[in-house]
């Protein structure tokens, strides 16, 4: 299997050439004081070295060894503790953190590139910094000044890690029915009791302390989601001088045996009157949690891209080296027994499909990240509100579409290898297993589709959709005279019109048919995602086409030709999706339970 190498050339192309991230950062004073183009480039370069050289070599061994549970204690695979120290000593744990408490304050547009490298190199390991970053984000946005000063510096430093404790055995999507309770102690603290499952890195041996953010209900709290509060519950008590005190009354009851990401600890966590502190207001825990959800869900989408990138790199190398049969047009290497399988159209179909989703997805994740940066850092109220609307609309697409296509790409990468793709030593089967979880956690992709179609589109009566529609329409209009873009703008406009028509159709149906949203949602999200990536590929052509002439590296010419494949072979899938959505819910809801 090819050794993973961070795709720095493409990341720089997306950041600097397609989206002109330095100009965005300069327009946001709170960002500009922390990053400039040279700093950003140095971060990318060093991130590439660490992820390729330190994390990637541990990926297979981590999967084979897994984490081990022994009487509540969890040991990590060989090399993980040392790799964790390398990450935290380099400041990577606090890359996007608040500088007031020791973070580096880097924008999400830059952090997203590091996240992709880390997840591509070693997804199981990468979940640890990812969960800590999410916990820090929620604490920074909603915690009291005292809590932030006490916990954030060590969490950004990686001395302490973070975990998010939401799910219970009987409560996954429907968090309103959680049973974990928090009783006030009379001194400002609370006693938290209950069981949480699927807690990623809830227990491990890499950090001195683990800070759990736990959803629980206060006595006499309102029923349902309006009665949920958020509590900070440390593994070890933290004394006033910052030193660690006694072990809190929480423990890891077991580790889940799972399909993939075996190098990470997926814990059952038991809280038995554990001492914790309220984060944010009483009964507002879900609002506090959703502060970090947009970032975390984009992060999961980026995991899908990362796994697909790793699969593509390996499949591409294999297709160049593996010789089988002759090209349909005749022998390409007559001095050898056969030609490389890259000569065969179907192998090219798979590799180009992977390339279309990976590179288009990288551009889309950066596009979403720029809206997150504007929403968080802009001093312009109107600009910030516009960005918040875009984030709300695009987040479920980023999470679900990028992970769905990420798994598709990993399976194609496995298929390029044929029988060897099913064998352990080549690494493709691990990527398929690891990528599978991305469609499930942080809100299953079906729930993301319902969120997009129900809350964001129908719920706003199309107002949020109009923000994206205006952005695409402006691009098409502004570039109508660009000869390089002409072959791409027409199919993009057709797909965009198709998406807009279907959007209006479902909004109209939803008023009379309670099943309309659920019946349309998954196909609608796919239609949206394919169109959005078409928009990204058109933006990339706009940048690459003028530079393709005389390009000896093959980067810009390859980018334009890859775009042509996307528009010829992938974007047309929107036609079938639109027809399926227009068929309505009748056939889906017609069967009785017995008829299934």
The set of catalytic residues is 442
The alpha carbon of residue 63 and the mean position of all alpha carbons in its chain are separated, in whole angstroms, by 21
How many angstroms from the chain centroid is the CA of residue 402? 8
CA distance 372 to 293: 12
DSSP for 246-272 reads EEPSEEEEEE---SS-TTS-EEEEEEE
Helix (H, G, I), strand (E, B) or coil at 148: helix
- How far is the CA of 458 from the CAs of 390, 391, 438, 473, in angstroms? 15, 16, 26, 21
Those residues with Cβ within 8 angstroms of residue 325's Cβ, 6 or more apart along the chain or in another chain: 338, 339, 341, 344
Residues in Cβ contact with 26 at an 8 Å cutoff, skipping those fewer than 6 apart: 32
Candidates 148, 292, 158; CA nearest to 215 is 292
Element (H, E) at 184: strand 181-184
CB 291 within 8 A of CB 142: yes
User: What distance in Å separates the CA atoms of residue 231 and residue 593, rounded to the nearest whole number?
Assistant: 41
Strand partners, 251: 270
Under 8 Å between Cβ of 458 and 394: no
- Are 213 and 231 in contact by the 8 Å Cβ rule? The answer is yes
């Amino acid at each position: 299997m090819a050794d993973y190498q961070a795709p720095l050339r493409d990341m720089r192309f997306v950041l600097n050439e397609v989206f002109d991230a330095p100009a965005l950062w300069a327009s946001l004073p709170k960002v500009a004081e922390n990053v400039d183009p040279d700093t950003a480039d140095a971060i990318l370069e060093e991130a590439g070295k660490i992820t390729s050289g330190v994390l990637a070599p541990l990926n297979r061994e981590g999967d084979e060894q897994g984490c081990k549970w022994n009487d509540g204690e969890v040991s990590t695979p060989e090399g993980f503790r040392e790799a964790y120290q390398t990450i935290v000593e380099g400041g990577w744990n606090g890359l996007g953190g608040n500088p007031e408490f020791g973070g580096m304050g880097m924008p999400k547009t830059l952090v997203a590139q590091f996240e992709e490298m880390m997840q591509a190199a070693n997804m199981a390991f990468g979940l640890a910094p990812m969960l800590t970053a999410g916990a820090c984000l929620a604490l920074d946005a909603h915690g009291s000044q005292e809590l932030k000063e006490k916990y954030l510096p060590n969490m950004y430093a990686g001395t302490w890690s973070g975990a998010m404790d939401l799910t219970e055995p009987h409560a996954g999507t429907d968090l309103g029915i959680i049973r974990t309770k928090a009783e006030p102690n009379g001194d400002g603290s609370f006693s938290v009791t209950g069981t949480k499952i699927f807690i990623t890195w809830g227990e491990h041996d890499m950090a001195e302390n683990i800070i759990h953010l736990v959803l629980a209900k206060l006595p006499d709290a309102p029923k349902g989601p309006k009665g949920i509060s958020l509590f900070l519950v440390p593994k070890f008590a933290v004394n006033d001088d910052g030193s660690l005190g006694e072990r809190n009354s929480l423990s890891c009851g077991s580790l889940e045996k799972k399909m993939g990401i075996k190098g990470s600890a997926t814990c059952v966590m038991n809280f038995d009157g554990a001492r914790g502190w309220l984060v944010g207001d009483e009964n507002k825990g879900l609002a506090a949690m959703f502060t970090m959800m947009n970032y975390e869900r984009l992060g999961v989408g980026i995991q899908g891209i990362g796994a697909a990138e790793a699969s593509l790199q390996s499949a591409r190398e294999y297709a160049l080296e593996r010789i089988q049969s002759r090209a349909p047009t005749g022998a390409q290497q007559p001095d050898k027994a056969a030609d490389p399988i890259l000569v065969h159209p179907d192998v090219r179909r798979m590799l180009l499909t992977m390339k279309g989703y990976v590179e288009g997805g990288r551009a889309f994740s950066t596009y979403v990240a720029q809206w997150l940066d504007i929403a968080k850092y802009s001093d312009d109220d109107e600009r910030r509100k516009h960005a918040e609307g875009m984030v709300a609309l695009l987040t479920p697409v980023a999470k679900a579409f990028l992970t769905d296509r990420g798994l598709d790409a990993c399976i194609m990468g496995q298929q390029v290898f044929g029988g060897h793709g099913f064998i352990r030593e080549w690494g493709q089967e691990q990527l398929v297993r690891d990528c599978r979880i991305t469609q499930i956690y942080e809100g299953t992709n079906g729930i993301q589709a319902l969120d997009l179609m129900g809350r964001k589109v129908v719920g706003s009566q199309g107002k949020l959709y109009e923000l994206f529609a205006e952005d695409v329409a402006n691009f098409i209009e502004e570039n109508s005279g660009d000869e390089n873009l002409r072959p791409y703008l027409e199919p993009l406009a057709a797909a965009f019109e198709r998406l807009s028509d279907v959007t209006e159709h479902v909004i109209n149906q939803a008023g009379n048919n309670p099943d309309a949203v659920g019946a349309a949602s998954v196909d609608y999200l796919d239609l949206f995602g394919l169109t959005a990536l078409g928009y990204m590929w058109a933006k990339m052509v706009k940048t690459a086409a003028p530079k393709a002439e005389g390009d000896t590296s093959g980067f810009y010419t390859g980018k334009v030709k890859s775009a042509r494949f996307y528009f010829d072979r992938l974007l047309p899938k929107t036609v079938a999706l639109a027809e399926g959505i227009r068929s309505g819910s009748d056939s889906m809801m017609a069967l009785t339970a017995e008829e299934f």
